[in-house]
Amino acid sequence: MDKLFLKIEELKDESLYSKHEQLVHGILNAINDGILKKGDRLPSINHMVGELGYARKTIVRAYEELKRRGLVESKNFKGYYVLNTNTKVKLKVALLLYAFHSFQEDFYNAFRKELGEAYHIDVFFHHNNLSIFKNIVNSIKGKYGMYAIAPIPDLEVQKILLRFPSEKLVIIDRFIELPNEFSFIAQEFERSTFSLLEELLPAIKKYNEMVLLYTDNADYPKGIQNAFEKFIRLYEVNGKIEKEYTQNSVQVNTLYFTIRDADLWYLLRDCKLKEYVIGEEVGIIAHNDNTVKEIISGGITTISTDFKEMGLLVAQHIKNQSTIHKIISLEVKKRNSL
Protein backbone atom coordinates (compact mmCIF):
# COMPACT_ATOMS: atom_id res chain seq x y z
CA MET A 1 0.00 0.00 0.00
CA ASP A 2 3.05 2.30 -0.04
CA LYS A 3 2.14 3.59 -3.52
CA LEU A 4 -1.37 4.48 -2.33
CA PHE A 5 0.00 6.49 0.58
CA LEU A 6 2.40 8.27 -1.79
CA LYS A 7 -0.57 9.31 -3.96
CA ILE A 8 -2.27 10.80 -0.91
CA GLU A 9 0.95 12.44 0.33
CA GLU A 10 1.38 14.12 -3.08
CA LEU A 11 -1.80 16.11 -2.42
CA LYS A 12 -0.87 17.35 1.06
CA ASP A 13 0.63 20.54 -0.38
CA GLU A 14 -2.52 21.26 -2.41
CA SER A 15 -4.00 24.16 -0.45
CA LEU A 16 -7.34 23.87 -2.26
CA TYR A 17 -7.95 20.39 -0.86
CA SER A 18 -9.20 19.66 2.63
CA LYS A 19 -7.77 16.57 4.34
CA HIS A 20 -10.83 14.49 3.44
CA GLU A 21 -10.54 15.68 -0.19
CA GLN A 22 -6.86 14.75 -0.22
CA LEU A 23 -7.84 11.22 0.79
CA VAL A 24 -10.62 10.96 -1.79
CA HIS A 25 -8.55 12.29 -4.68
CA GLY A 26 -5.50 10.29 -3.62
CA ILE A 27 -7.55 7.08 -3.79
CA LEU A 28 -9.09 8.16 -7.11
CA ASN A 29 -5.63 8.79 -8.53
CA ALA A 30 -4.47 5.39 -7.28
CA ILE A 31 -7.42 3.74 -9.07
CA ASN A 32 -6.74 5.67 -12.28
CA ASP A 33 -3.05 4.70 -12.20
CA GLY A 34 -3.85 1.02 -11.66
CA ILE A 35 -2.43 0.94 -8.15
CA LEU A 36 -5.86 -0.06 -6.85
CA LYS A 37 -7.95 -2.55 -8.82
CA LYS A 38 -11.49 -3.83 -8.46
CA GLY A 39 -11.73 -6.11 -5.43
CA ASP A 40 -8.67 -4.65 -3.69
CA ARG A 41 -9.01 -3.97 0.02
CA LEU A 42 -8.33 -0.43 1.20
CA PRO A 43 -6.21 0.17 4.30
CA SER A 44 -8.19 -0.05 7.53
CA ILE A 45 -9.20 3.17 9.22
CA ASN A 46 -6.69 2.51 12.00
CA HIS A 47 -3.93 1.90 9.44
CA MET A 48 -4.83 5.15 7.64
CA VAL A 49 -4.74 7.07 10.93
CA GLY A 50 -1.34 5.59 11.80
CA GLU A 51 0.22 6.30 8.39
CA LEU A 52 -1.23 9.76 7.71
CA GLY A 53 -2.00 11.16 11.12
CA TYR A 54 -5.52 12.22 10.09
CA ALA A 55 -8.47 11.97 12.46
CA ARG A 56 -10.64 8.85 12.27
CA LYS A 57 -13.71 10.90 11.31
CA THR A 58 -11.78 12.34 8.35
CA ILE A 59 -10.92 8.85 7.09
CA VAL A 60 -14.50 7.65 7.59
CA ARG A 61 -15.88 10.70 5.77
CA ALA A 62 -13.62 10.04 2.78
CA TYR A 63 -14.52 6.35 2.62
CA GLU A 64 -18.23 7.18 2.88
CA GLU A 65 -17.97 9.64 -0.01
CA LEU A 66 -16.34 6.95 -2.12
CA LYS A 67 -19.22 4.64 -1.15
CA ARG A 68 -21.77 7.24 -2.30
CA ARG A 69 -20.02 7.39 -5.65
CA GLY A 70 -20.27 3.63 -5.94
CA LEU A 71 -16.51 3.18 -6.03
CA VAL A 72 -16.10 1.49 -2.65
CA GLU A 73 -18.19 -0.94 -0.65
CA SER A 74 -17.93 -1.87 3.01
CA LYS A 75 -18.24 -5.46 4.17
CA ASN A 76 -19.20 -6.12 7.76
CA PHE A 77 -16.12 -6.69 9.91
CA LYS A 78 -13.96 -7.07 6.79
CA GLY A 79 -13.22 -3.49 5.78
CA TYR A 80 -13.58 -1.41 2.61
CA TYR A 81 -13.05 -2.76 -0.90
CA VAL A 82 -12.81 -1.23 -4.38
CA LEU A 83 -16.14 -1.93 -6.08
CA ASN A 84 -15.84 0.07 -9.30
CA THR A 85 -12.93 1.68 -11.16
CA ASN A 86 -14.96 4.27 -13.11
CA THR A 87 -13.75 7.32 -11.20
CA LYS A 88 -15.78 9.76 -13.31
CA VAL A 89 -18.95 8.74 -11.43
CA LYS A 90 -20.09 11.49 -9.05
CA LEU A 91 -22.83 9.53 -7.34
CA LYS A 92 -24.39 6.10 -7.37
CA VAL A 93 -28.20 6.30 -7.45
CA ALA A 94 -30.80 3.60 -6.69
CA LEU A 95 -34.13 4.07 -8.48
CA LEU A 96 -36.95 1.88 -7.14
CA LEU A 97 -40.16 1.91 -9.22
CA TYR A 98 -43.43 -0.02 -9.34
CA ALA A 99 -42.74 -1.51 -12.76
CA PHE A 100 -41.37 -0.38 -16.09
CA HIS A 101 -44.65 0.74 -17.66
CA SER A 102 -44.43 2.62 -20.94
CA PHE A 103 -45.23 5.96 -19.29
CA GLN A 104 -42.40 5.43 -16.79
CA GLU A 105 -40.00 5.16 -19.71
CA ASP A 106 -40.65 8.89 -20.24
CA PHE A 107 -39.74 9.45 -16.58
CA TYR A 108 -36.56 7.39 -16.81
CA ASN A 109 -35.36 8.92 -20.09
CA ALA A 110 -35.74 12.46 -18.71
CA PHE A 111 -34.14 11.39 -15.42
CA ARG A 112 -31.20 9.69 -17.15
CA LYS A 113 -30.60 12.58 -19.56
CA GLU A 114 -30.64 15.25 -16.85
CA LEU A 115 -28.22 13.37 -14.58
CA GLY A 116 -25.83 12.58 -17.41
CA GLU A 117 -23.08 10.01 -17.55
CA ALA A 118 -21.42 11.19 -14.33
CA TYR A 119 -24.17 9.50 -12.30
CA HIS A 120 -24.49 5.71 -12.07
CA ILE A 121 -28.14 4.56 -11.91
CA ASP A 122 -29.39 1.11 -10.90
CA VAL A 123 -33.11 0.49 -11.45
CA PHE A 124 -35.26 -1.90 -9.37
CA PHE A 125 -38.98 -2.83 -9.49
CA HIS A 126 -41.18 -3.92 -6.58
CA HIS A 127 -44.47 -4.51 -8.49
CA ASN A 128 -46.52 -3.30 -5.50
CA ASN A 129 -45.39 -6.39 -3.60
CA LEU A 130 -44.42 -5.68 0.00
CA SER A 131 -42.11 -8.69 0.32
CA ILE A 132 -40.25 -7.76 -2.86
CA PHE A 133 -40.08 -4.14 -1.70
CA LYS A 134 -38.51 -5.14 1.63
CA ASN A 135 -36.04 -7.51 -0.01
CA ILE A 136 -34.88 -4.86 -2.46
CA VAL A 137 -34.53 -2.20 0.22
CA ASN A 138 -32.54 -4.58 2.45
CA SER A 139 -30.21 -5.38 -0.46
CA ILE A 140 -29.55 -1.76 -1.52
CA LYS A 141 -29.58 0.17 1.77
CA GLY A 142 -26.19 1.65 2.57
CA LYS A 143 -24.78 0.94 -0.90
CA TYR A 144 -25.86 4.10 -2.71
CA GLY A 145 -25.33 7.82 -2.37
CA MET A 146 -28.96 8.60 -3.18
CA TYR A 147 -32.26 6.70 -3.27
CA ALA A 148 -35.31 7.66 -5.37
CA ILE A 149 -38.15 5.39 -4.24
CA ALA A 150 -41.76 4.99 -5.35
CA PRO A 151 -43.35 3.71 -2.12
CA ILE A 152 -46.19 1.30 -1.48
CA PRO A 153 -48.87 3.06 0.65
CA ASP A 154 -48.40 0.90 3.72
CA LEU A 155 -47.55 1.66 7.36
CA GLU A 156 -44.70 -0.85 7.29
CA VAL A 157 -43.19 0.91 4.29
CA GLN A 158 -43.29 4.20 6.19
CA LYS A 159 -41.29 2.64 9.01
CA ILE A 160 -38.78 1.19 6.54
CA LEU A 161 -38.24 4.53 4.80
CA LEU A 162 -37.67 6.32 8.11
CA ARG A 163 -34.48 4.27 8.48
CA PHE A 164 -32.91 6.11 5.54
CA PRO A 165 -30.98 9.34 6.11
CA SER A 166 -33.43 12.04 4.99
CA GLU A 167 -30.81 13.78 2.84
CA LYS A 168 -30.25 10.59 0.81
CA LEU A 169 -33.91 9.77 0.07
CA VAL A 170 -36.46 11.32 -2.26
CA ILE A 171 -39.98 9.87 -2.48
CA ILE A 172 -41.24 9.79 -6.06
CA ASP A 173 -44.44 9.03 -7.99
CA ARG A 174 -46.70 8.12 -5.01
CA PHE A 175 -46.94 10.30 -1.91
CA ILE A 176 -46.45 8.79 1.53
CA GLU A 177 -46.48 10.68 4.83
CA LEU A 178 -42.98 11.20 6.26
CA PRO A 179 -41.43 13.88 8.49
CA ASN A 180 -40.82 17.27 6.91
CA GLU A 181 -37.08 16.76 6.44
CA PHE A 182 -37.75 14.08 3.79
CA SER A 183 -38.12 15.19 0.17
CA PHE A 184 -40.88 14.12 -2.20
CA ILE A 185 -41.85 14.72 -5.84
CA ALA A 186 -45.12 12.89 -6.26
CA GLN A 187 -48.50 12.78 -7.94
CA GLU A 188 -51.81 13.76 -6.38
CA PHE A 189 -54.70 11.63 -7.59
CA GLU A 190 -58.00 12.30 -5.85
CA ARG A 191 -58.49 16.05 -6.16
CA SER A 192 -56.84 16.21 -9.59
CA THR A 193 -58.86 13.33 -11.06
CA PHE A 194 -62.14 14.73 -9.74
CA SER A 195 -61.37 18.21 -11.12
CA LEU A 196 -60.49 16.83 -14.56
CA LEU A 197 -63.61 14.66 -14.70
CA GLU A 198 -65.60 17.82 -13.96
CA GLU A 199 -63.84 19.50 -16.87
CA LEU A 200 -64.84 16.59 -19.14
CA LEU A 201 -68.44 16.45 -17.87
CA PRO A 202 -70.17 17.65 -21.10
CA ALA A 203 -68.39 14.94 -23.12
CA ILE A 204 -69.03 12.30 -20.44
CA LYS A 205 -72.75 13.09 -20.47
CA LYS A 206 -72.93 11.96 -24.12
CA TYR A 207 -72.78 8.36 -22.94
CA ASN A 208 -75.41 6.30 -21.14
CA GLU A 209 -72.93 4.74 -18.75
CA MET A 210 -69.38 5.26 -17.46
CA VAL A 211 -67.27 2.28 -16.39
CA LEU A 212 -64.08 2.55 -14.33
CA LEU A 213 -61.84 -0.50 -14.76
CA TYR A 214 -60.18 -0.70 -11.35
CA THR A 215 -58.98 -3.45 -9.03
CA ASP A 216 -57.85 -3.09 -5.42
CA ASN A 217 -55.14 -5.74 -5.57
CA ALA A 218 -52.99 -3.87 -8.10
CA ASP A 219 -50.81 -0.76 -7.98
CA TYR A 220 -53.77 1.47 -8.88
CA PRO A 221 -53.96 4.70 -6.85
CA LYS A 222 -56.89 4.63 -4.41
CA GLY A 223 -57.47 8.32 -5.08
CA ILE A 224 -58.74 7.55 -8.60
CA GLN A 225 -61.47 5.28 -7.27
CA ASN A 226 -62.44 7.85 -4.63
CA ALA A 227 -62.62 10.61 -7.22
CA PHE A 228 -64.70 8.50 -9.60
CA GLU A 229 -67.22 7.52 -6.92
CA LYS A 230 -67.57 11.11 -5.76
CA PHE A 231 -67.95 12.35 -9.35
CA ILE A 232 -70.72 9.95 -10.41
CA ARG A 233 -72.56 10.60 -7.13
CA LEU A 234 -72.45 14.41 -7.24
CA TYR A 235 -73.15 14.73 -10.97
CA GLU A 236 -75.65 11.85 -11.12
CA VAL A 237 -73.68 9.99 -13.77
CA ASN A 238 -74.73 6.39 -14.37
CA GLY A 239 -71.45 4.75 -13.46
CA LYS A 240 -69.95 1.55 -12.07
CA ILE A 241 -66.61 -0.08 -11.29
CA GLU A 242 -65.44 -3.33 -12.84
CA LYS A 243 -62.23 -5.12 -11.85
CA GLU A 244 -61.03 -5.58 -15.43
CA TYR A 245 -62.20 -5.51 -18.99
CA THR A 246 -63.76 -8.78 -20.11
CA GLN A 247 -62.86 -9.46 -23.71
CA ASN A 248 -65.70 -9.13 -26.23
CA SER A 249 -67.86 -7.28 -23.67
CA VAL A 250 -67.64 -3.76 -25.13
CA GLN A 251 -71.01 -1.96 -25.22
CA VAL A 252 -72.11 0.99 -27.33
CA ASN A 253 -73.04 4.27 -25.64
CA THR A 254 -70.58 3.40 -22.87
CA LEU A 255 -67.55 5.37 -21.70
CA TYR A 256 -64.64 3.32 -20.35
CA PHE A 257 -62.02 4.74 -17.97
CA THR A 258 -58.98 2.44 -18.06
CA ILE A 259 -56.02 2.32 -15.68
CA ARG A 260 -54.20 -0.75 -17.02
CA ASP A 261 -52.89 -0.59 -20.59
CA ALA A 262 -53.80 -4.25 -21.20
CA ASP A 263 -57.49 -3.40 -20.65
CA LEU A 264 -57.15 -0.51 -23.10
CA TRP A 265 -55.60 -2.66 -25.85
CA TYR A 266 -58.30 -5.36 -25.53
CA LEU A 267 -61.00 -2.71 -25.59
CA LEU A 268 -59.57 -1.08 -28.71
CA ARG A 269 -59.27 -4.45 -30.43
CA ASP A 270 -62.91 -5.31 -29.71
CA CYS A 271 -64.07 -1.91 -30.96
CA LYS A 272 -62.21 -2.53 -34.18
CA LEU A 273 -63.61 -6.05 -34.58
CA LYS A 274 -67.19 -4.85 -33.97
CA GLU A 275 -66.63 -1.73 -36.09
CA TYR A 276 -67.67 0.61 -33.28
CA VAL A 277 -66.64 4.22 -33.80
CA ILE A 278 -64.42 5.32 -30.92
CA GLY A 279 -65.39 8.75 -29.65
CA GLU A 280 -68.97 8.39 -30.89
CA GLU A 281 -70.37 4.93 -30.10
CA VAL A 282 -67.76 4.05 -27.46
CA GLY A 283 -65.85 6.55 -25.33
CA ILE A 284 -62.45 5.98 -23.76
CA ILE A 285 -60.41 7.80 -21.11
CA ALA A 286 -57.05 6.27 -20.17
CA HIS A 287 -54.88 6.91 -17.14
CA ASN A 288 -51.20 7.77 -17.79
CA ASP A 289 -50.25 9.29 -21.12
CA ASN A 290 -47.63 8.09 -23.58
CA THR A 291 -46.76 8.51 -27.24
CA VAL A 292 -48.78 5.44 -28.33
CA LYS A 293 -51.98 6.84 -26.78
CA GLU A 294 -51.38 10.08 -28.60
CA ILE A 295 -51.57 8.43 -32.01
CA ILE A 296 -53.49 5.13 -31.75
CA SER A 297 -57.15 5.07 -32.93
CA GLY A 298 -56.99 8.77 -33.69
CA GLY A 299 -55.77 9.61 -30.18
CA ILE A 300 -56.86 8.44 -26.71
CA THR A 301 -57.97 11.02 -24.15
CA THR A 302 -55.78 10.70 -21.07
CA ILE A 303 -55.63 11.88 -17.48
CA SER A 304 -51.98 11.86 -16.56
CA THR A 305 -49.10 13.54 -14.83
CA ASP A 306 -46.17 14.83 -16.86
CA PHE A 307 -43.65 12.04 -16.28
CA LYS A 308 -40.92 13.88 -18.18
CA GLU A 309 -41.28 16.82 -15.79
CA MET A 310 -41.19 14.47 -12.81
CA GLY A 311 -38.03 12.76 -14.06
CA LEU A 312 -36.37 16.13 -14.66
CA LEU A 313 -37.28 17.42 -11.18
CA VAL A 314 -36.07 14.27 -9.42
CA ALA A 315 -32.74 14.41 -11.27
CA GLN A 316 -32.29 18.10 -10.45
CA HIS A 317 -33.03 17.40 -6.79
CA ILE A 318 -30.36 14.68 -6.71
CA LYS A 319 -27.81 17.05 -8.25
CA ASN A 320 -28.70 20.01 -6.01
CA GLN A 321 -29.26 18.03 -2.78
CA SER A 322 -31.77 20.55 -1.40
CA THR A 323 -35.02 19.53 0.33
CA ILE A 324 -38.06 19.63 -1.95
CA HIS A 325 -41.79 19.08 -1.36
CA LYS A 326 -43.48 18.98 -4.76
CA ILE A 327 -46.90 17.65 -5.74
CA ILE A 328 -47.41 17.37 -9.50
CA SER A 329 -51.07 17.63 -10.45
CA LEU A 330 -52.64 15.54 -13.19
CA GLU A 331 -53.67 17.10 -16.48
CA VAL A 332 -56.06 16.06 -19.22
CA LYS A 333 -55.11 15.52 -22.86
CA LYS A 334 -58.42 15.62 -24.74
CA ARG A 335 -58.31 13.62 -27.97
CA ASN A 336 -60.71 11.89 -30.36
CA SER A 337 -61.64 8.97 -28.07
CA LEU A 338 -64.05 11.16 -26.09
Distance CA 249, CA 245 (A): 8
Output the pLDDT for position 87. Answer: 74
- The domain defined by 190-304 folds into Rossmann fold (3.40.50)
The domains spanning 2-82 and 91-188+307-329 adopt the same CATH topology: no
Residues 120, 318 contacting (CB under 8 angstroms): no
Whole-model pTM: value is 0.76
Confidence band of 118 (pLDDT split at 50, 70, 90): confident
Q: Which amino acid is at 194?
A: F
CATH 2.70.180.20 fits domain 2-82: no
Q: Is the pLDDT of residue 302 over 90?
A: yes
- For 140, what's the count of Cα atoms within 13 Å in the CB-facing half-sphere? 28
Helices 56-68 and 19-32 meet at what angle, rounded to 10?
Answer: 50
Domains in the chain: boundaries: 2-82, 91-188+307-329, 190-304
pLDDT digits (tens, 9 = 90+) for 199-257: 999 999 999 999 999 998 777 889 999 999 999 999 999 999 999 999 999 999 999 99
Q: Domain spanning 91-188+307-329: which CATH class is it, in words?
A: alpha beta
Q: Is the pLDDT of residue 277 over 70?
A: yes
